[in-house]
Amino acid sequence: MIIRPTLFAALLTTAALAQPYKTTPIQITADLSEGPRKIYHAEVDIPVTAGPITLTTPKWIPGNHRPTGPVDQITGVVFTADGQVLPWRRDDVNLYEFHVTVPKGVKTLHAHLDCIVTARVSQKMAVLEWEKLLLYPVGLPVREIQIQPTVIVPTGWGIGTALTPLGEAASVSTSAMPGSSTRYAATTVEQLEDSPVITGQYFHEFALAPDVTPKHYIDVVSDQPEDSNLRPQLLAELNNLVHETGAAYNSRHYNVYHFLLTLSDVAGGEGLEHGQSSDNGVGEKTFSDATRQVSASDLLAHEFTHSWNGKYRRPGRLYQNTFFEPEQGDLLWVYEGMTQYMGNVLAARSGLKTQAQYRDILATSAANLDSKPGRTWRNTEDTAIAASILRGGDPAWSNWKRGQDYYQEGELLWLDADTTIRKLTGNKKSLTDFHHIFLGKGGNTGPVIVPYEFKDLVHDLNEVVPYDWDTFLRTRITTLAPHADLAGIEQGGYRLVYLDHPSATEREPSAQRGRNAGPNVWYSLGLRVSGEGAISDVRWAGPADKAKLAPGSKIIAVNGQVFTADGLKAAIVAAKGKTEPIYLIVQSDTFISLVDIPYFEGEKYPALQRIEGAPAYLDDITKPLTTPDPASLPSARTSKAASE
């Protein structure tokens, strides 16, 4: 078909008129001023032409790996044009879509919507992941739809986000309460969804690594005023982290980077990656001292690494043109697994955890995988493919079902790859060389996405050192193996062993799993049990399973005494080397039964033991690649506080 230039120009004009939001930004105002009341509001102005239009909210949320768009919480939806309320109808199949007919002569469609927010809010803070309020037309890839955001927060609250502000915040009066409004530069729907906002009364922003370009910040909000004023030592470790990522990945793929951190026992936890920021939520005292910090020592390093691995380089079928098309997770053992590996390694290199703590945590992770019998029927690749149905859920028999094991399985796989490269090259090369190729392609860029496939991994690994990487990778993700891949640990100069006492890291208060923490008897009796005796999981084919214990039951007594965590551990110690079983009284539903567990091997806790004479690659891996420069550390407290 031949199209004359005049006709071609006319077709382009028609296409632009049909989709004006491709060139004229949608205007969205997110009002978080009623966050403490668990509700957000949005006003959205969409450039339109007359006729039917379909609008949607996001369904598949990048980083969640499943359809978690909160359409069920979006309410109060009203469409108007020139002051007239327009009727709308939800799509009968895709419940995320709204159908509206735009009257003749109307150029802007206004939408109001509310979102009921049940998490990530407290009386002192609020977090906005944009799927809660986003509304935009279907028909174009989200990277092509222009949108300009404005955010309203309660008066006096500070804001943290990677969005680019236009001028200073202005006071506004909303239908809810007085607040302050900040307008941001136009972006795309894809990038807006990737740019969360945190806000709070107790807000601090600290500049990190001032000698590094682009700029880096950590923005903190907390429920208590003292918590958002981070310790100088933590800031120094985060400063190290910025430098260590430069050495590890030899590139930056953002225009600015903001660690967004919420400290609250009310607002809930989070760890969600974004290209130019990360949404991190932990308990209010988690970073108050070095001991408490260990429990979340890899969080910021993990989510930061995702800016390279997951955001910049993303599995081809995990990256879709819209937020409706299902994501395919078969390569999540790279996206999440490699990030799990590097998050822990970078945390050790930066000082967020010690090398000894790194080894203790790795031992626990490896032992947990090694004691999952579900690996005999479900391989690692299937845990990735089935990611959207394996997140969350009941812990009962989860070791047989398996969960998101592509995280930890991937960690062991990439440790195996790292130590294999070191072994093949006499420790002259490492996974760092691979990262410089795979994650550093194109040098420094803005927040762009470069998809990849399995063959690209093999190609870039062979660029580092020739080897049968295709078989290496496929074997580890597709084989049904009764044991975890411990080769990387052993090539790294250590072996997984079980001791009769917990590691120093597990003994620290930060390792305790809350007020209701129970004894660690998973590697001995094969039970996950709370401090009150409630059984959440039973290890398939373990001693407790053979004794016919079941998840959901509760241990009432041990050896004739009322259940306590210490009492159960004492019974395990007393039975070691004996022939008398451990006697339990167990409640299942409304029934009481007697259960004998013939277990005589004593307590078991995982640890890594040095292999004498073997190269200590694991120690080399966790050594810093950079030397901190005192002049590059954050000067005192370079922060802005909304409320002191």
Tell me the per-residue pLDDT of 323-364, one tens digit each, with 9 for 90 and over: 999 999 999 999 999 999 999 999 999 999 999 999 999 999
pLDDT score at 1: 40
pLDDT tops 80 at residue 439: yes
DSSP state of 534: B
- One DSSP character per residue, 10-72 reads HHHHHHHHH-GGGTS-EEEEEE-TTGGGTEEEEEEEEE--SEEEEEE---S-TTT-S----GG
Q: What does the mean pLDDT of the chain come to?
A: 93
pLDDT score at 634: 53
pLDDT tops 50 at residue 11: no
- The CA R_g of the chain, rounded to the nearest whole Å, is 27
Summarised one tens digit per residue, pLDDT across range 211-262 is 999 999 999 999 999 999 999 999 999 999 999 999 999 999 999 999 999 9
Nearest Cα to 299, choosing from 238, 390, 362, 231? 238
pLDDT score at 305: 98
Of the two residues 44 and 639, the one the predictor is more confident about is 44
The answer to whether the beta carbons of residues 217 and 207 sit under 8 Å apart is yes
pLDDT score at 497: 98
Question: The dihedral of CA 496, 502, 504, 509: what is its sign?
Answer: positive
**Order of strands across the sheet that contains 197-200:** 125-128, 197-200, 158-161
Which domains, ranges and CATH numbers included, belong to the chain? 514-597 (2.30.42.10)
Summarised one tens digit per residue, pLDDT across range 281-293 is 999 999 999 999 9
Cβ neighbours for 206, distance < 8 A, ≥ 6 positions apart: 217, 218, 220, 230, 235, 634, 637, 638, 639
Summarised one tens digit per residue, pLDDT across range 38-53 is 999 999 999 999 999 9
Cβ neighbours for 502, distance < 8 A, ≥ 6 positions apart: 520, 605
* Alpha helix stretches (DSSP H) within 425-563: 431-438, 454-464, 469-478, 487-491, 504-507, 543-546
pLDDT score at 178: 78
Number of CB atoms found within 10 A of residue 640's CB: 13
| Cα angle value 272/277/282 (rounded, 5°) | 45
CA distances from 344 to 192, 287, 505, 582 (A): 29, 17, 14, 38
- One DSSP character per residue, 306-364 reads TTTBTTTEEETTT--SSSSSPP--TTHHHHTHHHHHHHHHHHHHHTSS-HHHHHHHHHH
Nearest Cα to 362, choosing from 525, 505, 521, 522? 505
Q: How far apart are CA 580 and CA 570, in angstroms?
A: 14
Asked which of 31-40, 47-56, 516-525, 565-574 is least confident by mean pLDDT, the reply is 516-525
pTM for the whole thing? 0.94
Query: For residue 557, how far is the Cα from the chain centroid?
Result: 39
**Order of strands across the sheet that contains 520-521:** 520-521, 527-529, 535-538
Q: Is beta strand 146-154 parallel, antiparallel or unpaired with respect to 84-86?
A: unpaired
Cβ neighbours for 501, distance < 8 A, ≥ 6 positions apart: 603, 605
Cβ-based burial of 549 (10 A; exposed 0-12, middle 13-18, buried ≥19):
buried
Asked which of 315-329, 577-591, 630-644 is least confident by mean pLDDT, the reply is 630-644
Note if the bond before 214 is cis, omega within 30 degrees: yes
The answer to whether the beta carbons of residues 113 and 44 sit under 8 Å apart is yes
